[in-house]
Chains A and B, each alone.
Chain A
């Protein structure tokens, strides 16, 4: 039980706990806030995985934009009556069983592979992963195409969301 393992376990606990709270809480605002907590945990995980850029992007994009968006949406569609009564559908046990089966199956698959038990190698110190990421994102023989298309996608989403949510009557 080295230190990173303990940190990992703590982080995992946070993540999973928050996730469970997300899907269980009655009030939707609380669910959104619990999501924020889960996202924070994931950011920490990225840090442990030495993908620092991603950790920051996670916080900025996911928490800063998406989670805020969720909170706005919750606010805009809030109804008092909605939060009385159960929040889950009548047959919630069926998805539970399904999820459990899938989880158990996946765990069996994962632990069945000997290969997955290995530990990470050291990253060579002379390599700057951040710089490599930047190069990969814009170099033509790497991933510039998906990158650009992603931006087009975002544009489309932007336009679409604005249009759909504006709700003009004509």
Chain B
């Protein structure tokens, strides 16, 4: 019974996509109704499965799932199927909630119910409609022209994510992965009229593609080595041992190489350094997109996949051993990215950019946790981060909406996303403020009350407890910066006085937008309490560490809880609270960017990585495409060759015609024969003189000559 439900979970969003595209595109209400309905159905299915899953004793050993024969491959079949084990049960829980929340939020975000804009074109963000209300005109936000299309795309996206989560093999996981990549391109470039959006979409697709290529290589390697792509087959202990002990390239074992290749896919998808450049630009898409893709689902998919293939990554490693090469690389990239992105986030002024870099940084935390072998901690942070980051993004969308309302109302055309134009919004948009505060505290790791604290603390504990001090210190610094810039953001946005007329006139957004915020805030607070470590002073032991037991049982052996130590706890408390305090302290007086001492150019310009990539990769690539291949090879060489061949043929034709055909065949042979015959005829006919004695003399003379010849020469 459960298996049927699991198979059906990804289906409603897919059907909703086709229905909207093919049939209900014109009818906005019907489109969002179908989309939200589909999201509700999938949510329902996911909840049923989740509840059943947590009810099973030792779920890790009795997972749900089934598979079917799909591709015939000679002697055997390639099977595909669904699998809900503890890890995917936890993930599907948050995916279902966040997807539903974002779908509902999108109704309000795209101004359903508002009039059509004055000069709104499909492809550009809506600009507002002028309505006459009690005598005077004012501009109100207008409905998005491509409303239905948006819901179609996010439905397809939801389908991709569900497919990825429920799949039991690398192939369908990769299919879901790629569908999400496609939808991310479509959605980032949703407002395709803006060149910046178009470029951002291409950048996102290209960058994640790089990761995807390596991932595909990894998948191919898996298949060629093991003959199967199902997780059940690959993660069998004998298989893992075989993979771990077979040497492959670059001094790594087969498992190491596979793990590395698959991880590179994750680097692309989850925007780790060096493939991080697409995520900030992806803020060009509408905010629900940013929330969905870049907080809750797509980037989480990268980490989810990495966690999924943790047995491969850690093949041959047991707790207590030094990390193998792949894990070291992963830990390095994760922690480096965490710090790197945090340093950039402190210098950003756009509200969404801060959150984008924050996402990159938090994903770095998860990847680092995975790299040091903290399986459960990584999964825990994945789930909590999804909730509070989605909350933060949706909250920022609400803020931007409020600002836009102010912009339209006052006619004061400021950038509604620039934090330095905001201020004092806590009075104007209370629900948004409180939920955003909860999200921000969760992100910073505010103790006990927020989910983020518990998951971050677990990462710190694992890092410190297993002796990975470098990782510990780097992550601690990153956590401090996280709290700092989060408070900076909240202070600039919500506290103080409004710094522009638009901010002064901002209003709270509709219930379709604030309700999802509230729901997500509830989870952001409470979800952490399912993962309280046992040895936590005070509260620990009151509730069992359900999350650890549940998710940990996905692995062949449940990882043991790390021994409690005061150091990581104190560190996490101090960096969180300290960062928050300093952030508030510094920024409550700052009103303009010039007063902000952290507007260092290096940080503001993202350590110039975009520029570096432009010079090192983009320019040569476009040179190769435009100049080398197109101009030199194609136009000059190949076309030149063709033109030369054509010219040569033409020349040959002319030469043949003029030098051979006309003079030789026409004149010499054709006319020549004629004139030779004519001349010889006109000469020879004079023989016929009509005088017989001529004839007779001639014949007798010839006779004599011949007989003389005969007698003297031949006979």
Contacts and interface: CB of A to CB of B under 8 A. Distances in A.
Instruction: State yes or no: do A and B touch (Cβ within 8 Å).
Output: yes
A105 interface: yes
A95 B704 contact: no
A102 B697 CA distance: 13
A11 to B, nearest CB: 28
Interface in B699-715: 700-701, 704, 707-708, 711
A5 to B, nearest CB: 31
A105 B707 contact: yes
A94 B704 contact: no
Contacts of B701: 94, 98
Contact of B697 (A98, A101, A105): A98
A95 B707 contact: no
Interface string A88-119: 01010011001001100100000000000000
B704 A89 contact: no
Interface residues of A, number: 8
Contacts of B697: 91, 94-95, 98
Contacts of B707: 105
A101 B704 contact: yes
B693 A89 contact: yes
A95 B695 CA distance: 12
B97 to A, nearest CB: 133
Interface residues of B, number: 8
A91 B693 CA distance: 11
Interface in B673-715: 693, 697, 700-701, 704, 707-708, 711
A83 B704 CA distance: 32
Contacts of A94: 697, 701
A68 B496 CA distance: 165
A136 B701 CA distance: 39
A102 B693 contact: no
Contacts of A95: 697, 700
A105 B704 CA distance: 9
A37 to B, nearest CB: 25
Contacts of A102: 700, 704
A89 B691 CA distance: 12
A98 B707 CA distance: 12
Contacts of A98: 697, 700-701, 704
Contacts of A101: 704, 708
Contacts of A91: 697
Interface string B315-353: 000000000000000000000000000000000000000
Nearest to A99: B700
B593 to A, nearest CB: 130
Nearest to A105: B707
B292 to A, nearest CB: 123
B213 to A, nearest CB: 105
A89 B693 CA distance: 9
A98 B698 CA distance: 10
Contacts of A105: 704, 707-708, 711
Contacts of B700: 95, 98, 102
Contacts of B704: 98, 101-102, 105
Nearest to A108: B711
A98 B693 CA distance: 13
Interface string A60-103: 00000000000000000000000000000101001100100110
B703 to A, nearest CB: 9
Interface in B113-154: none
Interface string B19-45: 000000000000000000000000000
A113 to B, nearest CB: 14
A100 to B, nearest CB: 10
B363 to A, nearest CB: 125
A95 B703 CA distance: 13
A105 B708 CA distance: 9
B714 to A, nearest CB: 15
A89 B707 CA distance: 26
A94 B708 CA distance: 16
A94 B711 CA distance: 21
A94 B701 CA distance: 9
A101 B712 CA distance: 14
Interface in B91-130: none
Contacts of A89: 693
Interface string B367-393: 000000000000000000000000000
B117 to A, nearest CB: 119
A65 B119 CA distance: 136
A102 to B, nearest CB: 6
A98 B701 CA distance: 7
A74 to B, nearest CB: 19
A91 B700 CA distance: 15
A86 to B, nearest CB: 14
B33 to A, nearest CB: 122
A102 B708 CA distance: 10
B416 to A, nearest CB: 128
Interface string B187-225: 000000000000000000000000000000000000000
A89 B689 CA distance: 15
A68 B704 CA distance: 34
Contacts of B711: 105
A102 B704 CA distance: 7
Nearest to B700: A98
Interface string A20-51: 00000000000000000000000000000000
A89 B694 CA distance: 11
A99 to B, nearest CB: 9
A101 B295 CA distance: 129
A102 B707 CA distance: 10
A110 B80 CA distance: 120
B127 to A, nearest CB: 120
B715 to A, nearest CB: 12
A141 to B, nearest CB: 37
B698 to A, nearest CB: 10
A95 B708 CA distance: 16
B693 to A, nearest CB: 6
Interface of A: 89, 91, 94-95, 98, 101-102, 105
Interface of B: 693, 697, 700-701, 704, 707-708, 711
- Top-3 shortest CB links A-B: A101-B704, A98-B700, A98-B701
Given A89-B693, A94-B701, A98-B700, 15 more contacts: A91-B697, A94-B697, A95-B697, A95-B700, A98-B697, A98-B701, A98-B704, A101-B704, A101-B708, A102-B700, A102-B704, A105-B704, A105-B707, A105-B708, A105-B711
18 contacts: A89-B693, A91-B697, A94-B697, A94-B701, A95-B697, A95-B700, A98-B697, A98-B700, A98-B701, A98-B704, A101-B704, A101-B708, A102-B700, A102-B704, A105-B704, A105-B707, A105-B708, A105-B711
